[in-house]
Amino acid sequence: MKNPQLEVEIRELKLRHAWGISRGVATSKENVFVSIEHEGIVGMGEAGPNSRYDESAESTVDFLDKARTLLNKYPLWHFEDLGWAILEQAPGQTAAKAALDIALMDWFCKKHDLPLYRFLGLNPALTPLTSFSIGIDTPERMQQKVHEAAPYPILKIKLGSDNDEAIIRAIRAVTDKTIRVDANEGWTDRQEALEKVEWLATEKVEFIEQPMPAAMVDETAWLRERSPLPLIADESVKGSKDIHQLKGVFDGINIKLMKSGGIQEALRMIRIARSLDLSIMLGCMVESSLAISAAAALSPLVDYADLDGNLLLAEDPYRGVTVAEGKLMLTDVAGVGAVFNEIDG
């Protein structure tokens, strides 16, 4: 029988607005799309490489080229064995690993004619609300983005510049929605971080994501002891092996397929975090509706969702999960829940 065929393609995804976080600004993103064709079924996957983790479209393609022989070593329906082989192929490059794992699970679920959430035994009515992220910009432009985010009941505000207080005041002048704050490791002084968190607690903020750099573990634990708001780890946690050391440092973790290396590892992380009484958020990078739909299929298992990477795109090459008044609405399409968008793609 013919071996599975892997195809890899880099695609530029244009953003609706320049996207600013504490590390920099971007107007488009290069993601890598893969397909695995076997026995007449095509599984699709996506990598959203992130320079924070030493990834690029090129490093992703390089990993995929080296990993393609794994598809000949294991039958696709042994996705457990194949999934481990992909994770252990080389360190890092988790976005590339996620693309393969998403494609593998997409193939398997299509083969069995099941949406991923049904294969996992999950209730689609239990999806959480997703937040909508407002990137760092001038306070005036951030106000404009808040107006455009009218359909979304929860906002995630990126902080970590010198302008934090002015930004929150500007946003509070135009909305009283629940706000989640993501500092993206932007605060490097623990006393200053505490003062910011204490002030934010008076501004109807629900929690703070990654206030301090991942390397500042002791300072973050110090902050958490005094913080009136829960602290959620993002850059401090990639895979399941990172979670145990976060107990006492954070109150919860932000799981992303692009950090974990795929669906299978994200599921392990959800179970470990639950066993440690950590709250769980499911987040994303800038991704099309393909990878976002795959993550959304797991969302009935988590407390918070921040699955808006596709909503930031000017054109989306896929369609899948939608958002209704903030709530993630899963599709009944077999596989991870997305189809190629022939109109825009």
Pairing of strands 339-340, 318-319: antiparallel
Binding of Mg ion by 219 (CB under 5 A): no
How far from 52 is each of 21, 64, 285, 323, CA to CA, in Å? Answer: 12, 19, 11, 28
Q: Which residue, chain included where needed, has tokens 């850059």?
A: 235
Using the contact rule CB under 5 A, the part of the chain among 7-15, 207-215, 286-294, 312-320 near Mg ion is: 207-215
Binding of Mg ion by 55 (CB under 5 A): no
With CA atoms as reference, report the closest residue to 8 among 116, 95, 75. Answer: 95
**Is 19 or 79 the residue whose CB approaches Mg ion more closely?**
19
Using the contact rule CB under 5 A, the part of the chain among 2-10, 87-95, 97-105, 178-186 near Mg ion is: 178-186
Size of the site for Mg ion (CB under 5 A): 3
Using the contact rule CB under 5 A, the part of the chain among 171-179, 205-213, 219-227, 331-339 near Mg ion is: 205-213
Tokens of 272: 């470990």
Binding of Mg ion by 234 (CB under 5 A): yes
Binding of Mg ion by 185 (CB under 5 A): no
Q: Which residue, chain included where needed, has tokens 């995929």?
A: 64
Minimum CB distance to Mg ion, residue 236 (Å): 10
Determine which residue in the list 46, 55, 106, 182 makes contact with Mg ion, applying CB under 5 A.
182
Minimum CB distance to Mg ion, residue 127 (Å): 20
Minimum CB distance to Mg ion, residue 226 (Å): 22
Residue 124, CB half-sphere, CA atoms under 13 Å: how many? 17
**Is 211 or 261 the residue whose CB approaches Mg ion more closely?**
211
**Is 106 or 234 the residue whose CB approaches Mg ion more closely?**
234
**Is 43 or 252 the residue whose CB approaches Mg ion more closely?**
252
Interface positions with Mg ion (CB under 5 A): 182, 209, 234
